[in-house]
Every structure is written in structure tokens, then in C-alpha cells.
Amino acid sequence: MADITRAPRLYVAPDLSIGADVPATEGQAHYLLHVMRRRSGDTVVLFNGRDGAWAATVEPRGKRSAAFLVTSQLRPQSASPEVTLFFAPIKAARLETLIEKATELGVTALMPVITQHTVVSRVNTARLTAIVIEAAEQCERITVPQIAEAATLEAIAEWQRAHPDVPVFVLDEAAARGGGGATPLPIALSRSKGPAAFVVGPEGGFSADERARLGALATTAVTLGPRILRAETAGIAVLACWQAFCGDWHGDPPRDQ
Amino acid sequence: MADITRAPRLYVAPDLSIGADVPATEGQAHYLLHVMRRRSGDTVVLFNGRDGAWAATVEPRGKRSAAFLVTSQLRPQSASPEVTLFFAPIKAARLETLIEKATELGVTALMPVITQHTVVSRVNTARLTAIVIEAAEQCERITVPQIAEAATLEAIAEWQRAHPDVPVFVLDEAAARGGGGATPLPIALSRSKGPAAFVVGPEGGFSADERARLGALATTAVTLGPRILRAETAGIAVLACWQAFCGDWHGDPPRDQ
């Protein structure tokens, strides 16, 4: 087999098993046949987030379509350590940066939350899904983060009822500016273990009413030092720090966690 | 005085002291008079990276220019904890993301290094300087990171001779893929204190020759977990982690470090 680490990595929706014949999407067929100039029998790596990573061969079907013939399993599925990001949608380019980087940094669930100061009221879930899949392919994940539909702040309380043992850390730069009793992130993380959730407020901060509602939940307000970070920077930074303190950045790196 | 935390924050080049009359750049005059609709006597915050933060009033001089009259010092200059980022230039949009986020995350020196696999051979230092200044203004730093001219890998050895006590951590995703003896970042950082430098390789990784040259220096190869991070993500992630482990994210946040 050719060097598998250089084979294109592609996310597919169908189940994967030896001998499966998986249709390529139009985009995948174009990319493989016309951009990467792959030919019949060339190797790709497939994953669907459920069945592990598989080697497959490209089978062109005419000029514009192709299928994958699954030949062998490269590794079984394993789960990423669970880390959830609630975030107020921000302008498209910055939101796309956040989503891409969060995927690379191993986020397992992306939960858009519309707040009073959120300047963007619509979330293009299909576009975000495409970014997340591309980032997962590129960074060699074999899992794809879940993207929830945009919800209200009430979604956090609901999520907490379903995950009563998972700590929820709230980053609110506007509140941090006041200095009111937030815990420095490294101190909060060094006391924590296992799954966590983070809530990143909108650029304008939470409203007083929202802050009171968040305060009524079992959440911990955390700060990220003396500089005021943009929302997407804060989201990226907390995920990196969480992986370093509590996630999978410690041991020997098993590729394709 | 009006709420100083809502005053525009502007970087200026000249010295700052009470009574100083500082010319606004054309861009600043346009922004203040026509975008922000500020009038004569309105307050701004000025910093130059040397003299601390100062309150000043806007003094329009005709329709297109303005000056600042410095009225009082808000806080003395203080230094950021020193953290240096060597990076191989990447495509413009991704490089700009790295530079902006690195500034928010408190980087003190940005050192572009041209490597054999660097796809971009020219660095627009003026454009990077503009991004760094805007990010410093926005995140409430009163320091501005230094941006070096693009250099060769030899610049790292030179820098080490001038900073013999500062650890240099090398991130090389391509080498990490091989698994060869790199230290997980959180372990390297938990053994470290004070200033540090990070070297982020190009997307294609360092060449074998470059890796040998870096290995001959007193550097520590570090890994960022099982996913392959894009170069800009790796740069942002190490700076966030360094601030959390060794930088200024611990204590009470003194604004404008």
C-alpha cells in the first residue's frame, strides 16, 4: 500500500465495513479526480465518526462521480475527551475561525447561543458543518464535533440537567473587567478533571439579566488574564488550555484519538 | 471625565507627557471625527509602548486632521511577561489571524523565519505592524509586540546567544507525527518558568536538514496532542498555554499589564 499518511482523508456519512461501496459526494469526486488527480485504485482514508478509520480505493464512475471501495480497517473508533463550547455567534469570518480552530483543538460539541448582545441572529449551520468536516479531515480526527441549532441561554440550564457532573466555566470579558470574583482559568482547570463545558459571551458581554441567570446556575466564572480577548480568541484559548490541563495533550500521542 | 473604559484607545509614536500635543495620523483623525463622531475635548486613551497609558482630548484641526492634547497619566508603563514567537510565514489570511491572536495573547516579539518548506517568501511587515497595533488597541495592551524582519533559521541560534537562559520550544507537527521523543507541551511548561520562545514550523514541517540544525541547538521539541494542528492554530495554542502555565493569567488581572 502507498504511504497511508499521505492519502486524502475524507469524512463520509454511510456505515463503513470491509467491502462497503460508498458513494463519493460531488465535491469529493471533483476534489479527488480533478484537483488531486487520483486514479482508479488509489488509496484514501475514510471515517464517519462511528466506525473508526478505513482504507479504501477510489473507483471513478464516469468523469464527475466516484465511489470508494472499503478495503481494510486502519483503527477502531475511539472517543475524544468530551469538551463542549457554548458561544454567542459572531461575524462570519471570525465565527469560521473559531469553529475551525475548535475542531482542530478537539471540541466535541459546538452550541450556538443567541444572547441579548449577540450582533448576529442567524447561524448558517450547513456552512459551519462543512467547516467542521474539513477541519476534522485536515487535523486527522476520526470524530466530528456535533453542531447544535442556535438556542437561547436556557439551553445551558437544560444541558446541565443532562450533564450534572460536568463543570461549566463562563468567560465574560465584560464581567472580568469589573474584576468581580472570577477565577483565573489555570486555577480553575488545575482543580478540574475530565469533561468540561465553556460558555464564551458575545463581544459586548452578557447583559445584567443574563449574568444573573448564569450566576444562578452552577457555573464558574473564569478570567483569561489582563488583556481583553475577542470572543473567538477566548474560545480558542480555553480549548487549548483545557486540552493541556485536562484533555489528551499529556501522554504519548495516539494518532486519530 | 467621561467613562474612560469606553474611550477609544490609540497607539501613537511620540513621547507622552502632560501637555504634550500629539498629531493624530490621517487614519486616526478619520476614525475619530467621521466614524466615531468625536468632537473637540472628547477623551481618548493614548499609549506608545514606553510611557504608560494617558488620557488626552481630541483637538480637531480642520476637517481631516486632529491632534491629541495629553491631560493626565492613567497608569505607568509596565512590561508584559516576555514570550517570543518564531514562525514560518503562511498564507496572508491565516498569518493575519496568527498575528492578531498572538498580540491579544500577549506575545512580546514576532519573528518570521523563512524555511525550506515555507510557501510564502515575502512578509509584509507594514501590514503586520498595522494588525498588531489594532489588536493591541483593542485588547487594552499598552505594549506593542516587536515584529522582526523575515530571517533565516540562523536567527534562532543568534537569538539564543543573546538570551541564553530562555528555553526555546520547537513545534514540528511533521516530526511529532513520527512520535520521536517530543515532550507533551503541558509537561514542558509545568517544568518551565518565566520567559520562553516558541518555534512554529511551516505547514509542510521542517526539512530533515533544518530539523538536524534545530536539534543541534538547545531547544526542546514539544507536541500538542493527537490532532495535527494548522501552523497558526499551533502558534495561538502555545501562547494561550504559556500564559496559563507561566505567564500573567494567574493572579488578579491588573488591566494594562
> For residue B176, what pLDDT is reported?
60
Residue B110's alpha-carbon distances to A16, B95, B197, B222, in angstroms, are: 45, 11, 10, 19
Cβ within 8 Å, pair B101-A228: no
Average pLDDT over residues A215-232: 92
The residue of chain B with its CA nearest to that of A99 is B233
Half-sphere exposure of A131 (CA within 13 A, CB side): 20
How many CB pairs (< 8 A) connect A and B? 138
The residue of chain A with its CA nearest to that of B245 is A186
B233 touching chain A per CB within 8 A: yes
Residues B98-149: tens digit of each pLDDT: 999 999 999 999 999 999 888 787 889 999 999 999 999 999 999 999 999 9
Q: Is the pLDDT of residue A58 over 70?
A: yes
A230 touching chain B per CB within 8 A: yes
Enter the C-alpha cell of residue B202: 511551516
Enter the C-alpha cell of residue A117: 448582545
The residue of chain A with its CA nearest to that of B100 is A233
A7 touching chain B per CB within 8 A: no
Half-sphere exposure of A72 (CA within 13 A, CB side): 4
B181 touching chain A per CB within 8 A: no
Short-list B178, B186, B183, B173, CA closest to B219: B183
Sheet architecture: strand order including B109-112: B146-147, B109-112, B83-87, B196-200, B168-171, B219-223, B183-184
A181 touching chain B per CB within 8 A: no
Q: Which CATH class is domain B83-245?
A: alpha beta
The answer to whether B4-75 and B83-245 have equal CATH topology is: no
At A254, the pLDDT band (50, 70, 90 cuts) reads very low
B44 touching chain A per CB within 8 A: no
Return d(Cα B231, Cα B204) in angstroms, integer. 9
Could you say which DSSP state residue B172 is in?
-
Return d(Cα B71, Cα A99) in angstroms, integer. 43
Consecutive H or E run containing B161 = helix B154-162
Q: What CATH code is assigned to B4-75? A: 2.40.240.20
**Paired sense of beta strands B83-87 and B109-112, if any:** parallel
> For residue A2, what pLDDT is reported?
57
| Mean pLDDT, all residues of chain A | 91
Which among B223, B228, B236 has the least Cβ separation from residue A236?
B236
Residue B226: exposure state from Cβ atoms within 10 A (0-12, 13-18, ≥19): buried
Please state the pTM of the whole predicted model. 0.93
B31 touching chain A per CB within 8 A: no
Chain A from 119 to 148: CB within 8 A of any B CB: 138-141
- Looking up cell 512590561 gives B79
Return d(Cα B129, Cα B249) in angstroms, integer. 25
Interface predicted TM-score (ipTM) of this complex, two decimals: 0.93
> For residue A235, what pLDDT is reported?
98
Residues B39-72: tens digit of each pLDDT: 999 999 999 999 999 999 999 998 899 999 999 9
Query: Measured between beta carbons, which residues in chain A are less than 8 angstroms from residue B140?
Result: 226-228
For testing the chain A interface, which of B169, B187, B249, B257 should be mutated: the one with the most A CBs within 10 Å? B249
Query: What is the domain partition of chain A in residue ranges?
Result: 4-75, 83-245
At A253, the pLDDT band (50, 70, 90 cuts) reads very low
Average pLDDT over residues A32-51: 95
Q: Is the pLDDT of residue A255 over 50?
A: no
Contacts with B8 (C-beta within 8 Å, 6 or more apart), sequence order: B31, B32, B36, B38, B44, B45, B137
